[in-house]
Structure 1
Amino acid sequence: MYLDDGLGGANDFQSAERASSYIRSSLSEFGFLIAEEKCVWYPQQNMTWIGLVWDMEFGKLRVSSERIDRLVDVISKILFCVGKGKMLHNAKFVAGIVGQIISMQAVLGNLVRLRTRELYNCILLRASWKSLVALTAPAVEELRYWLNSVTQLNEQGNDLHESDVCDLVAFTDASEVGFGGYIVPAVDGICAESVCDSLEILTDCCLELPGNSLNTVVGSWTVLESGKSSTWRELEAVSRTVKSSLRCLENHCLKLNTDNKNVTSIVKNGSKKPELQNIACELNYLCSENNIKIKPHWIPREQNKIADGLSRYSDCDDWGIKESVFQMLDKLWGKHTIDRFATDYNTKCSRFNSKCWCKNTEAIDAFSQNWFGENNWLVPPPNVVCKVIRKLCSDEANCTLVVPLWYSSPYWLMLHDIFGNLKHFIKEKHQIMSISPVVPGRGNNGVFGKYMKFSLIAFKIRFN
């Protein structure tokens, strides 16, 4: 009989010393021959065991530097060959690299599976272990990722005392028409499934929201996106919720609730399908860059009703101005540099801000940006026009502001003095006489209805 790879410990030095002495004497009494040169009987707070460095002083687990150096060396060699145009490599050699990475899972976590899928796909195409396999471009990118990241990831180590308690909770869902999600604080250790039930529910334009939501995300799919698989939509809903909430998620641990079991697995381990794998890798990169820990968790659909409602919500402020109207004002008052209230499908400028994350957006939430130094194009939802005017005055920003011609609105008084004259920062105005100057978006355009029964007016605002 052989005994190998044993490790023991205790809460303090004296207890550890007693435990060590007891185990040593017991093994001798049972007749075992002890290989003293391979044993460490004196209690230590930092030791290397089975290729892992156990740092009990700081509660960290790391891979030994020898193993890290060995992995870096072998990846450097194969990438050197790739740089010389050699894309065919021995299957067993490539599998050995993957095996080294996978063996570090105790420290690096599920990342070892997420970031080796392309390499594994190459190995699966082998004719035999002695045959050559071609490294694809994504597989080479995975090798570069590990070459550039493994040392830093190992220095961070894995927390031996890591708690399952998260300080933020997210709920996401997707439907055939759109996606939705929201972030709430964890409620004093209450399980994530009951967080919704413990919150006050607010109703806003037929939209149910948790009373203490830190961020709420809603959006619509394109025709192409709505035709994709339910798993893609659910995973993309997670991705867009995180992307839209980076400011409140940074440096936090997030419990991510979804009613799709495939999504919980893909977020942790990736997917065989390239489209899903790309989303998972991008999500992992975002979380790494913003120090966000995500713990995906499946919940029944009955416990995800609010997120489901968000995914079916039609944004009544999803509308825009006709291109011809914009071009006329752009020519009249100078080239506009950024569209502050836009999406990727209705922006009038190459640079734009959006309410939620979308492709090519420069920033989420225009009010979080500094508007000074730009010629801003502003076509805000009517219910935030007053907030826009206050922001303009605060930042002393130049802009073109397009609003409904509503004399009785609160914002009208902010644009005119008590005598009805324009405020000093308004240099010109132009009433838009075009018939139906509004372009419908993907929502139901509930603000204006099917036909506009009023005009729009544009103000040229300049502080400098």
Structure 2
Amino acid sequence: MAKTGSGGLFTPRRRHKVFRVTIRQAQSSYSLTDAVYCRRLVFLLYSTSMESGMPGKPPHPKGKSLPATEKKDKTPEKATSVQVQGEPGTSNPPFEKRRGFYSRLFLVKKASGAMRPVLDMRSLNKFLQKKKFKMESLASVIQAISVGDWLTNIDLKDAYFHVPICQDHRKYLRFEVGGVHVQFKCLPFGLSQSPRVFTKILVTLIAELRKEGISVFHYLDDILITAKTKKEAKVQTTRVLEFLQLHGWIVNMEKSSLVPTKSLIFLGAHFQTQKNLVSLPLPKQEKLVQAIEDFRRQEVVSVRHCLKILGLMSSTIQIVKWARWHSRPLQIFLLRKVKNPQENLQKKLTLSQELKNTLGWWCVPDNLGKGTPLEEPDWITVTTDASGVGWGAYIGEVCVQGSWELGHVSSNVIELRAIKEALLALADHLKGKSVKVFSDNTTAVAYVRKQGGTRSIRLAEEVEPIFQWAELCLEHITAVHLPGVENQKADFLSRSFADPGEWSLHEDIFQDLVNTWGVPEIDAMATIHNRKCKRFFSRFPCKEAEATDGLRQDWSRELIFVFPPIPLVWKVLKKIEREKANAIVVIPYWPRRPWFPLLHRLSLGQPKKIPKFPGWLNQGMFQFHKKDHLCLMAWRLRGGD
């Protein structure tokens, strides 16, 4: 086997046939002498028993070399001419015809208007090993770019055609057009391993540039350079450009953006670093809206059409807030109708009016154009837990909880319900913020982090109210798994409950009442933990208390403060009337209750409304969260005629 440069070829595995992929002029023109790069200039694509598993002759696809739509525009002869004479990636095999492996050719129109040859290589791909590899993604690029960065973009021309296929294995990349037999001599579009091979070769060069301190990212043939200053961006872009050209890569100058800017479109996203924003470009917005409007107008659609729309939606997930959440209805609709969508592409489905209405969200320009911030938001964390008897949650020292009777419900369901209850209970602390939920249930975390899911319809229904509220009230929401051993506080809150009759007013509220009506001498219904006066009557025996059971004590001697449990309001009012007591009383404004007329008669003036703010009612670390159900008023009362 011939050697290429100082690195040579990898030795193929025994009993495996290979595609050998080489780079032209590897040993002569490159300045980079790193052996890693030299070795990566030659790549092996393995397939088990390649030649024994492939037919020597193809099942001849008469009349199927080009799709019918292409035949209307180009005769087979012209199409052949375009590929053989106009593209560097194909050639006419000089040897026996109908040997090797034939695939169907079709043409894809480029953005420039030129036609790109693509082989339908699904049959061939079945013989190739699937190997995972890592490549840049829009998410990783967003994570790397900072506010104020300068950006440039380099586009490689005919990217795959930089990578020739060795002579012996070009026979696997053949097609026929108009009776002319043609084969690819370079890496073709459509081969399952093409992205991996191309990425593995180019990433070695990218690594060399990063060693020089250049912040450079690439996704196949698109390359992005970021820098902190405009001057630095110019210098580094020039360096990358020269480096790529030196190593044999052809740059598409027309599609490249070589002038540093703070507003650049890359990987289908509009980066605006001066605004800390990445958003969906306007042309993509218009294309998406048009596609979904056309889809909504249909009564019956194919599974293929549904998948196409879902593909358009999924391409926006990283840059359109709540996009993943609003793609779920179509996903769930499809999965309810078809078990294996990829195997039933032509099946017809009837769209419901409810689904059409739901998809209307995608047709609102404001929903698609808001974008997301480049930099990580300032998260406010909410830790939650659930048990069979209740739920608990906290933010720092602010704690909330609630009880329930659920019956036979899965742990995943109750954990999602706990998250919902926690968000609603802590709404005053969370509105307009970016929220990170900590939970010890991995499934609940996944359904929040991924904005729903498709594996369980029941869980999808449970998470729906969370995102309906979050979209209206929050900037962002995500979730993180917290091991159970580290979630003891929320676990305690979900099992140990506050006494519903022992809520305490915030100290600032009490002081405001004192400033208005004077200082009470005694708190007639209190505990050592929530008393508002030094002297107090306790519900239970307590050595610090002046007496036990305030309703049995004398209230006629001095100004008292009373914040009674709701069931005791009537008894408290009657005692004030009977003993001609002077009191500051905190009672809900409930005019429908039978005791309200008595309250009105005892009042010395207009009551004061108790303001609602975080901590307005509490029991130590527990905070009262059902504020919408309770309108508290403070009253200055006096008994007697």
TM-score (norm 1): 0.60
- Deviation string, structure 1 residues 342-376 (Cα, Å, up to 9, x no partner): xxxxxxxxxxxxx9xxxxxxxxxxx9xxxxxxxxx
Report if the CA contact (8 A) 2:320-2:369 is conserved: no
Q: CA deviation at 1:226?
A: 3.4
More displaced, 123-132 or 17-26?
123-132
**Residue 387 (structure 2) aligns with:** 175
Tell me which of 397, 403, 408 is aligned to 1:220.
403
Secondary structure (helix, strand or coil) at the match of 2:423 reads helix
Tell me which of 445, 453, 464 is aligned to 1:271.
453
Correspondence 1:223-238 to 2 at 5 A:
225-238=406-419
Tell me which of 469, 474, 481 is aligned to 1:291.
474
Report if the CA contact (8 A) 2:382-2:435 is conserved: yes
Q: In 1, distance between residues paired with 2:472 and 2:423?
A: 13
Correspondence 1:124-273 to 2 at 5 A:
124=335, 125=338, 126=341, 128-136=344-352, 139-148=355-364, 151-163=365-377, 165-166=378-379, 168-184=380-396, 213-214=397-398, 216-222=399-405, 225-269=406-450, 270-272=452-454, 273=456
Correspondence 1:422-461 to 2 at 5 A:
428=598
Q: In 2, distance between residues paired with 1:146 and 1:404?
A: 62
Structure 1 136/318 Cα, relative in aligned 2: closer, same or farther at 3 Å?
A: farther
**Residue 398 (structure 1) aligns with:** none
Q: In 2, distance between residues paired with 1:429 and 1:160?
A: 57
Secondary structure (helix, strand or coil) at the match of 1:265 reads helix
**Partner letter of residue 295 of structure 1?**
T
Q: CA deviation at 1:135?
A: 3.2
**Residue 309 (structure 2) aligns with:** 97
Q: CA deviation at 1:33?
A: 2.7
Matched, 1:80 2:294: no
Structure 1 115/408 Cα, relative in aligned 2: closer, same or farther at 3 Å?
A: farther
Q: In 2, distance between residues paired with 1:297 and 1:412?
A: 44
Structure 1 220/20 Cα, relative in aligned 2: closer, same or farther at 3 Å?
A: same
Secondary structure (helix, strand or coil) at the match of 1:129 reads coil
Report if the CA contact (8 A) 1:61-1:157 is conserved: yes
Secondary structure (helix, strand or coil) at the match of 2:221 reads coil
Report if the CA contact (8 A) 1:180-1:219 is conserved: yes
**Residue 352 (structure 1) aligns with:** none
**Residue 324 (structure 2) aligns with:** 113
Q: In 2, distance between residues paired with 1:258 and 1:310?
A: 13
Structure 1 307/141 Cα, relative in aligned 2: closer, same or farther at 3 Å?
A: farther
Secondary structure (helix, strand or coil) at the match of 2:421 reads helix
**Residue 22 (structure 1) aligns with:** 239
Q: In 2, distance between residues paired with 1:147 and 1:279?
A: 26
Q: Which runs of 4+ in 1 moved over 6 A?
A: 384-387, 413-419
More displaced, 115-124 or 31-40?
115-124
Report if the CA contact (8 A) 2:583-2:636 is conserved: no
Report if the CA contact (8 A) 1:114-1:268 is conserved: no
- Deviation string, structure 1 residues 264-290 (Cα, Å, up to 9, x no partner): 101122133333223323212322222
Structure 1 243/405 Cα, relative in aligned 2: closer, same or farther at 3 Å?
A: same
Secondary structure (helix, strand or coil) at the match of 2:395 reads strand
Structure 1 386/50 Cα, relative in aligned 2: closer, same or farther at 3 Å?
A: same
Report if the CA contact (8 A) 1:231-1:263 is conserved: yes
Q: In 1, distance between residues paired with 2:433 and 2:372?
A: 16
**Residue 216 (structure 2) aligns with:** none
Q: In 2, distance between residues paired with 1:121 and 1:288?
A: 20
Matched, 1:307 2:490: yes
Q: CA deviation at 1:306?
A: 1.5
Structure 1 245/93 Cα, relative in aligned 2: closer, same or farther at 3 Å?
A: same
**What are structure 1's unaligned runs of at least 5 residues?**
185-212, 320-340, 342-354, 356-366, 368-381, 388-402, 431-460
Structure 1 179/419 Cα, relative in aligned 2: closer, same or farther at 3 Å?
A: closer
Q: In 1, distance between residues paired with 2:496 and 2:407?
A: 14
Q: In 2, distance between residues paired with 1:308 and 1:78?
A: 47
Secondary structure (helix, strand or coil) at the match of 1:160 reads coil
Report if the CA contact (8 A) 1:178-1:219 is conserved: yes
The percent identity for this pair of structures is: 21
Secondary structure (helix, strand or coil) at the match of 2:474 reads coil
Q: CA deviation at 1:35?
A: 2.0
Q: In 2, distance between residues paired with 1:79 and 1:249?
A: 35
**Residue 188 (structure 1) aligns with:** none
Q: CA deviation at 1:427?
A: 5.8
**What are structure 2's unaligned runs of at least 5 residues?**
1-160, 163-219, 510-524, 533-548, 564-571, 585-595, 601-634
Q: CA deviation at 1:301?
A: 1.1
Q: How many residues align?
A: 320
Report if the CA contact (8 A) 1:256-1:295 is conserved: yes
Report if the CA contact (8 A) 1:118-1:138 is conserved: no
Q: In 2, distance between residues paired with 1:408 and 1:299?
A: 53
**Partner letter of residue 229 of structure 1?**
S
Q: In 2, distance between residues paired with 1:138 and 1:20?
A: 51
Structure 1 383/258 Cα, relative in aligned 2: closer, same or farther at 3 Å?
A: farther
- Deviation string, structure 1 residues 99-150 (Cα, Å, up to 9, x no partner): 10101122136x43333233123334156212212335664354123234xx
Report if the CA contact (8 A) 1:177-1:226 is conserved: no
Secondary structure (helix, strand or coil) at the match of 2:383 reads strand
Secondary structure (helix, strand or coil) at the match of 2:496 reads coil
Q: In 1, distance between residues paired with 2:403 and 2:437?
A: 21
Report if the CA contact (8 A) 1:172-1:258 is conserved: yes
Q: CA deviation at 1:429?
A: 7.0
Report if the CA contact (8 A) 2:401-2:493 is conserved: yes
**Partner letter of residue 428 of structure 1?**
L
- Deviation string, structure 1 residues 184-230 (Cα, Å, up to 9, x no partner): 2xxxxxxxxxxxxxxxxxxxxxxxxxxxx23x2221213xx232111
Structure 1 427/175 Cα, relative in aligned 2: closer, same or farther at 3 Å?
A: closer
Secondary structure (helix, strand or coil) at the match of 1:48 reads strand
Matched, 1:123 2:334: yes
